[in-house]
């Protein structure tokens, strides 16, 4: 099953190409990828974004997250996502769903929905 990062990575790769943004971790990479005459702003983790595309780039980030969540729900369904995240956050081992609840807030999934899945999956074990 794909995870949220798999959906966001696809859309982020498109955004990088569309805006001419790239990652460089040294002058060799920078010189290879930079377009002559284009000014870049340095973002986190070696990301360079053309200054004239910065506003568009940042405006797309919330869209990408929203679209990725929609696609994840459409492809996998809420219940499978809840179980995936319960497992990823090791909730069945710790018996604490708190981290999962915090993570799934961005999906508008409630504590009650998560608790229900947690209890049901515990009963199946």
- pLDDT tens digits for range 20-79: 999 999 999 999 999 999 999 999 899 999 999 999 999 999 999 999 999 999 999 999
CA distance 85 to 63: 22
Q: What is the pLDDT of residue 6?
A: 97
Tell me the whole-structure pTM to 2 decimals: 0.86
pLDDT tens for residues 63-117? Answer: 999 999 999 999 999 999 999 999 999 999 999 999 999 999 999 999 999 999 9
Domain extent listing, the chain? 1-76, 77-125
Q: How many angstroms separate the Cα of 51 from the Cα of each of 58, 62, 66, 122?
A: 11, 19, 25, 51
Q: What is the pLDDT of residue 125?
A: 76
Residue 48, H or E segment: strand 47-50
Q: What is the pLDDT of residue 44?
A: 87
């Amino acid at each position: 099953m794909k995870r949220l990062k798999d959906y966001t990575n696809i859309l982020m790769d498109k955004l990088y190409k569309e805006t001419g943004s790239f990652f460089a971790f040294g002058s060799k990479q920078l010189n290879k990828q930079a377009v002559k005459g284009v000014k870049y702003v340095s973002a986190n983790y070696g990301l360079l974004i053309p200054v004239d595309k910065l506003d568009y780039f940042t405006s797309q980030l919330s869209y990408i997250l929203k679209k990725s969540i929609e696609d994840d729900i459409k492809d996998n369904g809420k219940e499978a996502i809840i179980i995936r995240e319960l497992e990823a956050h090791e909730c069945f081992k710790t018996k604490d769903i708190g981290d999962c609840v915090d993570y799934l807030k961005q999906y508008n999934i409630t504590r009650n929905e998560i608790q229900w899945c947690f209890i049901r999956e515990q009963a199946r074990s």
